[in-house]
Structure 1
Amino acid sequence: MHSISIFDIFKIGVGPSSSHTLGPWRAALAFRESLPLGTEVLNLRVILYGSLSKTGVGHGTDIAVTLGLEGFDPETITTADIPFHVSRIKAERQVNVGSPVAPRMATFDPQRDIVFAKRTLAFHPNALTFEALLGNGKKKKQTYYSTGGGFIVKVGTASRIDQGFQLPHPVHSAADLLAHTERTGKSISDIVYENEQAFRPVDDLLVKIDHYLDTFYHVIHQGCTAPEEVLPGGLNVKRRARKLCAKLLGEPAANSFSAWEKQLRRSLPDFRNTTSWISCFALAVNEENAALGRVITSPTNGAAGVIPAVLLYFRCWCDNADQEAQRRFLLTAGEIGSIFKKNATISAAEGGCQAEVGVSSAMAAAGLTEVLGGSPEQVLMAAEIAMEHHLGLTCDPIGGLVQIPCIERNAIGAMKAITAANLALESDPKDAIVQLDVVIKTMLDTARDMHSKYRETAEGGLAVQIPVAMAAC
C-alpha cells in the first residue's frame, strides 16, 4: 500500500459519515457501473451488515445507497436537493440505472429493498451486498466493505491499494518518511509534493490542492452563516456555530468568505478569543456534516472539522501563512493520514474514535508543526503526541447519529493538535520515548482489544446512557 495519494485521504463528499455514507454511496455507484449493458435490470436489493445495519439510518446509509444507485455523484450533487430526490425515489419505487437520455428503470423500493441484517461479516464491520435481478433470469451479486474515509474494498479483489507504479519516495511507515528526509535533506512536505506528482501533473496538483483548501474554508463559512436550526435525526441538537461566530465578531458574519475573513483578522487574537474561534470553526464544519452538507474527509467525515479548524487558525493568526505554506500543511497532514491508513485503521467501526478524531488530530498537529518551522523529527513527534492522547477513544454516537459526542469532539481534537504542535516545537525529538510508528501500532492493538459495543454500534457508552427517546424530549 505504498501508492496512496493525499487525495485518497482527502475526499469531497456528503455527510454525515465517510464509512457509513460516502463509502456505501461509492459502492452503489461501483455496482451500478458493473451492471451489464443491453440487459434489463428488473429489481435491485441492498443488504447492510454489522455497523452499517446497526447505525445505518442515523448515518444516512439508506440515503447514500439510494442516491448512488440512481447515479448521483457525492462530490457534485446539490445537497439541498437530496430530500427531493430521496422522496421521489421512495414514491416511484424505482431508480434509473441508465442515463437521463437513455433511461433504464429498475424496481427499487428503499423500504423493502434495503435490508438491515443482524449479522456481521468477518473481514470488516462495515459490509454491504448488492443484488440485481436481470431480465434474462440471472442474478448479479456483489459485496463491498466500507473500510473508513470513503475507501471501499470489493470482495473478490485484492484489498491492497496500489496504483501500479513506484513513487519516487515510497512510504509505508513514519520511519520510511523520516529516512527520505534524511537522505535528501528535504522537508516532509517536499517529499510528499514529489510523490504526488506521480499521480498528476504539477499544475493539476496545485489547482487541486488550492481547490481543496478553498473548500475547507468555505465549509467553515457555510457553517458559521447557516440558520440556527435543529439538526436532523431526532436528538434536537441545535446548531451553535452561527451564534458563537456572531458573538465573537460582535456583528453578523459577512455573506462572502473573503469579507468574513477580513472580519476574522480584525478579531482580537487573545487567548480566549483564539481558542473560541478554533472551536467555532470545528463546530461549523461538523454541523454542516451532520446536516448532510458537503465536507472533506479528513480523514473521515466524522472527523472533518479538526484539520480545517487548525488550518484557518494558521491562516488568520500565524506568521508566514501564505498559500505555499497552506499547501505544505495539507501535503504533510495527508501523508500522516496515509501512514495511519496503511498500518492501522481510519474506521471508527473498526477502531473507535481514536481512528477518526485521533488520526485527524495527529494529521493537523503534523501539518501545523511543518508550517511553523518544525524539523521532520518534530513533525512526526507532534503527530505522535496528538495520537498518544487519543488512545482508547471510543465511538458511541447517541442514536447512531454523527452529532453527540462527535461535533464537540472535533473542537477538542483541534485544540489537542495545536497543543501537540507547540509541545513538539519546544522539544528535542531525541528525548522522545515513544515514536509515531509505535503509537500507530498501539492504536491498532487498542482497536483490536476494544469491545465491539464501543466501535460505532450505538450499543455502549453514551449511546445507551442517553436513549434517543430521552434525548429528544
Structure 2
Amino acid sequence: MGLSIFDLFKIGIGPSSSHTVGPMVAANRFLDELHKNQLFKQTHRIKADLYGSLAMTGEGHATDVAVLLGLLGEHPDRVNPDKVPEYVAFIKAHDQLKLGGVRDIPFYFDTDLQFHFGNSLPSHPNGMSLTALDAEGHTLYKNQYYSVGGGFVLNEQEASSSQSTSHQAAPIPYPFENGQDLLDHGNNSGLSIAELVLENEKYLGRSQDIPKDLMAIWQVMDECIQRGCAQTGKLPGGLDVERRASEMYKRLVNKPPEQRDDLESMDWVSLFALAVNEENAAGGRVVTAPTNGAAGVIPAVLAYYARFIPGSSDKGIQIFLATAAAIGMLYKKNASISAAEVGCQGEIGVACSMAAGALCAVFGGTNEQIENAAEIGMEHNLGLTCDPVGGLVQVPCIERNTMGAVKAINAARLALQGTGQHRVSLDNVIETMRQTGLDMQDKYKETATGGLAVNVVMC
C-alpha cells in the first residue's frame, strides 16, 4: 500500500519515535510472527539485543522500556503512559514478563536485554534483534528489525529486499514520488496538494472517516499542548531540566496589555512547541509529526493557525495536516526522517518543511508557493546535527522545536510574498539533505558522541 497521512501522524508515547515507538512496534511484530509460526506457546524466554544508535542512546530514549512494553503486548497508541513505571518495576522486581499479556516467562533485565555499544547491524543505524528460546534454551525463532524513523519498522526480510508494505504500489488516483509529480498532478487536475492526498487516502483503507480521524490527530496534539502547559517539575533522566512551559504560560496569560507587542504570537508558538516536547521528554502521549523528537513543530504552527488566524476552521486544520503529510511523504520516500541516519535535519528540518508548506496552504497559497515554503523550511535546516546531551530528548531537542516552528512560519510568509517560482526546488533540497546526511559523521547522528553531547557537563 502507498504511504498514508496516518503513517506520518501516529499517536504514540515519548520520548522518541525511532527509539521508543519503533522498538515497541518491532516487539509487537515479533509476537505476531511467533503466533503466525505457531511458536508462541513454546516460547520460554526472550532475548533482545540493541545495536547502533538504539544502543548508544537507547537508555536515554527509553528503548529498553519500549521493548519490554512491546513484549507485554502494549501498543504505542494505546498504552497508558502513567502505567509504564509500574510495568517496568514489576519486571525488574520479579524477573518475570507476561508475554503478550497472557503468559508469564522469566525475564532477567540485566542479561536478556543487551546494549551492544559500538556495533551496528548492516541495514540501518537503528537495529535490534529479538530471539525466542524454548525451555531447553534452544533458539525457536529470531528476527532482526530496523527502526527507520517516525515509528516505521522493517524486519530483516523487508530491509534486505529494500521494500516495505508502506512503499509497495497502491491503486491510488494520484501516485507521486517527488514534488514535481505533485505539482504536475495539481496542474493537470486543478486540485490542491491537500486535495490530491485526500483523494489518495480514500483508496488506502486506513480510515473510514478521514475528516474525523484528522481532527482526532489534532485533538491529541492540542491535548498535549494543554498538558504541557500545566505540568511542573524536573524532567526524568538525570539532566535535572526544569519544565518551563507552565511558568511561560502563566506569564503570557497574565501579561498586562501595555506590555503586549506585535510579536507576542511568536512567544505563544514557542510555548506550544515547548509544551509538547516537554511532554515528549517525560514519556507522555504525543503524535509523531513526523517523529517524536520533532513532535512540537507541527502542533505549534497548527495551534498558531487555530488560535491566531481569523477564519481558522476544522476544514483548515484538515488541509494543514493533509498538506504537511504530503510533504513528509516526499522526505520518507526520497531521503530519511531518522536522525540516526541523517542527523536532526531529518527530524526538525523535515517537520519545519512540512509545517511551512502546510501553513502556506491554509493561508491560501498556490501549490507552487506551498512547494516553495517547504523548500525554504528545509534549505535553512541543512546540516542540522543530532547531538542529544546524555542521550536524552531534552537538550537541545526541546528548544530546537521552538526554533523549527518559528522558522516554519517565516518560511510560509516568505513564500507567500513570491509567485512560487524559485531557483532551488523542493526535490533539489530533499536530495541535498539526503547527501548531507550521508556525509555527516556518525558522532553527529544521534549517538551522543559529538557536539553538545560531549561539550555539556552532566551534573
Give TM class, smaller chain.
over 0.9
**What residue in structure 2 maps to residue 153 of structure 1?**
154
Query: 1:282, CA displacement in angstroms?
Result: 0.2
**What residue in structure 2 maps to residue 254 of structure 1?**
none
Secondary structure at 2:59 match in 1: helix
> Within 5 A, what are the aligned runs for 1:221-370?
221-226=226-231, 228-250=232-254, 270-370=261-361
Tell me whether 108-117 or 155-164 shows the greater mean CA deviation: 155-164
Q: Deviations over 1:157-192 (max 9, x none)?
A: 343323553211001100111111000011111111
- C-alpha contact 2:43 2:140 (8 A) present in aligned 1: no
Query: 1:200, CA displacement in angstroms?
Result: 3.0
> Within 5 A, what are the aligned runs for 1:63-142?
63-99=65-101, 103-118=102-117, 119-135=119-135, 137-142=138-143
Secondary structure at 1:176 match in 2: helix
- When the two structures are superposed, what TM-score results if normalisation uses the length of structure 1? 0.92
Query: 1:236, CA displacement in angstroms?
Result: 0.5
**What residue in structure 2 maps to residue 257 of structure 1?**
none
Tell me whether 316-325 or 433-442 shows the greater mean CA deviation: 316-325
Secondary structure at 1:459 match in 2: coil
- C-alpha contact 2:81 2:285 (8 A) present in aligned 1: yes
Change (3 A) 1:344 1:166: same
Equivalent residue pairs, number: 449
Change (3 A) 1:154 1:268: farther
Secondary structure at 1:127 match in 2: strand
Q: Does 1:401 align with 2:392?
A: yes
Q: Deviations over 1:102-129 (max 9, x none)?
A: x322221222211111311221100000
> Within 5 A, what are the aligned runs for 1:25-64?
25-35=24-34, 36-37=38-39, 39-64=41-66
Change (3 A) 1:383 1:413: same
Query: 1:428, CA displacement in angstroms?
Result: 2.0
RMSD: 1.7
Cα distance in 2 for residues equivalent to 1:110 and 1:121: 22
- C-alpha contact 1:66 1:110 (8 A) present in aligned 2: no
Q: Does 1:467 align with 2:457?
A: yes
**What residue in structure 2 maps to residue 456 of structure 1?**
446
**What residue in structure 2 maps to residue 435 of structure 1?**
425
Cα distance in 2 for residues equivalent to 1:289 and 1:179: 38
Letter aligned with residue 154 of structure 1: N
- C-alpha contact 1:181 1:188 (8 A) present in aligned 2: yes
Cα distance in 1 for residues equivalent to 2:12 and 2:6: 12
Change (3 A) 1:207 1:163: farther
> Within 5 A, what are the aligned runs for 1:156-235?
156-157=157-158, 158=161, 159-160=163-164, 161-162=166-167, 165-200=170-205, 204-226=209-231, 228-235=232-239
Which runs of no fewer than 5 residues in structure 2 stay unpaired? none
- C-alpha contact 2:92 2:109 (8 A) present in aligned 1: yes
Cα distance in 1 for residues equivalent to 2:206 and 2:43: 40
Query: 1:38, CA displacement in angstroms?
Result: 6.1
Tell me whether 403-412 or 78-87 shows the greater mean CA deviation: 78-87
Change (3 A) 1:153 1:98: closer
Letter aligned with residue 33 of structure 2: S
Cα distance in 1 for residues equivalent to 2:69 and 2:333: 30
Change (3 A) 1:399 1:278: same
**What residue in structure 2 maps to residue 262 of structure 1?**
none
- C-alpha contact 2:448 2:454 (8 A) present in aligned 1: yes
Query: 1:37, CA displacement in angstroms?
Result: 4.7
**What residue in structure 1 maps to residue 20 of structure 2?**
21
Letter aligned with residue 142 of structure 2: K
What is the percentage of aligned positions where both structures have the same residue?
47
Cα distance in 2 for residues equivalent to 1:392 and 1:333: 22
